[in-house]
Structure 1
Amino acid sequence: MSENRAVAYKGAGHVEVVDTPYPEFELKDGPGVNPANVGRKVPHGAILRTVATNICGSDQHMVRGRTTAPEGLILGHEITGEVVEVGPDVEFIKKGDIVSVPFNIACGRCRNCKDGKTGICLNVNPDRPGSAYGYVDMGGWVGGQAEYVLTPYADWNLLTFPDRDQALEKILDLTMLSDIFPTGFHGAYSAGVKPGSTVYIAGAGPVGLAAAVGAQLLGAGVVIVGDLNSDRLEQARSFGCETVDVSQGDPRDQIEQLLGVPEVECGVDAVGFEARGHGSDAGHEAPATVLNSLMDLTEAGGALGIPGLYVTGDPGGVDAAAQEGSLSIRLGLGWAKSLSFTTGQCPVMKYHRQLMQAILHDKVQIAKAVKATPIPLDEAPQAYADFDKGAARKYVLNPNGYIK
């Protein structure tokens, strides 16, 4: 067996489906692979035949040319698969298992992993703590928008679904466990959402919608979602959210019309560094807008969950400061209001087993909420283009025909 096909980044605005080597239990040289990782043996890994792999908004940042991602990088960090081979050091994961793959790669052995901080593993990326499949500056682990993919530290990383038939029946929901459902839930959880909370979520893309579902699962009294895109706002309303069109002005004013007060208890940033202004400035990029707005409209003593992506290198940033991830944030306001902030990669393993149970036992319908749309691998370039235009969908690639 030697054939594999995958989605590769080919420069700003351009992806292609390419022929690529079948995975081996060794990290080979290639686009984005840290030299210190070349030749790294992976006897603890598993090779998966991909069941479902999703296009993520953070992939879109790279495809737009807004990161330092190298051309030829194989994309994809949202992976669900069937185990077809295991390395000699794998003890518990078995051939034939259907598994969810956390997007953040973790060794399970370092101090951070042992503390549950799997988003900032110390051993998988020579550049910095934390790693992911198919992503810029994340060590060079090959992405999973492919027919086959290698996953390291399989016994630690992979979440096995208890029943194959049930998993395949609910695959459009379960595929969200690799990233956006835990990430959105993490945003709501770290914002302090509890029964009866009032919550404002900036961004109605898939992560923002997943955060809204997470807030509802946590018992929020009212969930308000803000965005510029009318189709995405309509999607948020489809499962019981209130909405704010930030192109119409300050969300604080619209929140007051909904709640009677201009502040919420919990705020979530599901937008990140490509944020745009509000009201008359909605057509212009203003990367600090969402963070400053959330500090303004979250009540004193509240908390902000920030699953939206911020980067240290943005070639397309609006100014020299933004190009290195330096934003004009009103930290003084946040300090004066005693706000709490939680940033960084979601530690997927903190949540994915519990969220799996919620899916399997029909407590949530995350696929319906994010409008999961399965497509063949060959349609990935068009899906990237449509997603970039604001399509209110979550595209799920079906490279091996598991999704009927």
Structure 2
Amino acid sequence: MAGNRGVVYEGPGRVVVEDFDYPVFELKEGPGVNPANVGRKVPHGSIVKTVATNICGSDQHMVRGRTTAPHGLVLGHEITGEVVENGPDVEFIKVGDLVSVPFNISCGRCRNCKERKTGICENVNPDQPGSAYGYVDMGGWVGGQARYVLVPYADWNLLKFPDRDRAMEKILDLAMLSDIFPTGYHGCVTAGVTTGSTVYIAGAGPVGLAAAASALLLGAAAVIVGDLNADRLAQARSFGCETVDVSQGDPRDQIERILGNSEVDCGVDAVGFEARGHGTEAATEHPATVLNTLMGVTRAGGALGIPGLYVTGDPGAADEAAREGTLSIRLGLGWAKSLAFFTGQCPVMRYNRQLMMAILHDRVQIAKAVNATPIPLEEAPRGYREFDQGAARKYVLDPNGMLGTS
């Protein structure tokens, strides 16, 4: 039997690449595995040989020590691969299929799944609705920054690519379907982006850049991306966005210089709970800054899409309230402007098939937009380190040498 090897969290600031067990069709005891899930049979699952698996900003929150993630947790929830083995209950997915794995783990049977709310499936995490691979408090499903990964409810969860050769030609683009492309798109859809919209996207990391590409795909007239990082802002400009350097002060003034109006139709938060301040406060964390800024710059009657991650527990927060996810949000401002707020995990399956078709038919170049950069699995610690330092790249790991990195 093949062995397995992947990326393991070993404490704040430290990830290692090491060997561990090949997946089987049963959840075993291990770091982060919910005790109620230990021994759970997975006859409906597939074992996927990983072609591409991405480093995500959500992974970085754990690696920075900003969650309660246990040491020894196998990381990774952005997975694209080839099916190599099926459980006895898998009927439609076949060995050899090239597939995208939504980062949400969902059963397809509960009320929320039937309502296409796959980010809050009721049956895969004993503690709370919603689950993901290799993530803290998400049920303990083993992560996919590895050579092989178990995918439960495979017939439901896996998105099969229609043509293997064509898919491999666009594999870096298709690798974004597991999370950041649908997540950025969801942020825009829930914010109401449509033909002719003006949009302000806070954050020029991979999710923010994916949101910017999504806004253009949806027909926005002007897409403005705000960040502190000059390289990431340059990446946003490379595919037609306007940019705001929030280290220079309140985005409102810069938006007015771009649009002739200080308010936009739609706002997207692609930053989340590790937000920094603006202007002179840019060097320190102010976790409510992005939400408050978005309320200020979005027109009355508009909406905020909030795909950026917010948590109920942050051991590294600057104050006691933020450690519990309590932020000083100007809700009165949002109420006075009749703003709508849309939060939570993106339900990837709501969008991934349509976005796959957009990629395959050359309607979008998402890998170019986020500067997808493949590296060997063994270089994952370097990828994490450089991404944490602000590299304007989306690192894609190549566990089985199928992307040509080794």
Give aligned pairs, total: 404
1:223 partner SS: strand
Q: Residues 321-340 of structure 1 correspond to what in structure 2 (within 5 A)? A: 321-340=321-340
State the partner residue of 1:249.
Answer: 249
Q: Residues 4-403 of structure 1 correspond to what in structure 2 (within 5 A)? A: 4-403=4-403
Structure-1 separation of matches of 2:36 and 2:78: 25
**Alpha carbons 1:226, 1:233 under 8 Å: kept:** yes
Structure-2 separation of matches of 1:106 and 1:115: 12
Structure-2 separation of matches of 1:349 and 1:338: 29
- Structure 2: segments with no counterpart, 5+ residues: none
Measure how far apart 1:94 and its partner are.
Answer: 0.1
The TM-score with structure 1 as length reference comes to 1.00
Structure-1 separation of matches of 2:241 and 2:29: 46
Structure-2 separation of matches of 1:48 and 1:256: 49
Measure how far apart 1:213 and its partner are.
Answer: 0.5
CA RMSD of aligned residues (A): 0.4
Q: What CA deviation, in whole Å up to 9, does each residue of 1:209-240 have, x standing for no partner?
A: 00000000000000000000000000000000
Amino acid at match of 2:261: V
Structure-2 separation of matches of 1:180 and 1:139: 21
Q: What CA deviation, in whole Å up to 9, does each residue of 1:4-29 have, x standing for no partner?
A: 00100000000000111000000000
Measure how far apart 1:401 and its partner are.
Answer: 1.1
Structure-2 separation of matches of 1:118 and 1:283: 37
Q: What CA deviation, in whole Å up to 9, does each residue of 1:316-353 have, x standing for no partner?
A: 00100000100010011000000000000000000000
**Alpha carbons 1:2, 1:21 under 8 Å: kept:** no
Amino acid at match of 2:125: N
1:255 partner SS: helix
Structure-1 separation of matches of 2:116 and 2:4: 34
Structure-2 separation of matches of 1:380 and 1:167: 24
Structure-1 separation of matches of 2:127 and 2:63: 22
Amino acid at match of 2:293: S
Structure-2 separation of matches of 1:2 and 1:358: 36
Measure how far apart 1:2 and its partner are.
Answer: 3.8
Amino acid at match of 2:102: P
Structure-1 separation of matches of 2:210 and 2:325: 25
Measure how far apart 1:402 and its partner are.
Answer: 1.1
**Alpha carbons 1:168, 1:402 under 8 Å: kept:** no
Structure-2 separation of matches of 1:160 and 1:33: 28
Structure-1 separation of matches of 2:69 and 2:262: 40
Structure-2 separation of matches of 1:141 and 1:6: 14
- Structure 1: segments with no counterpart, 5+ residues: none
Amino acid at match of 2:226: G
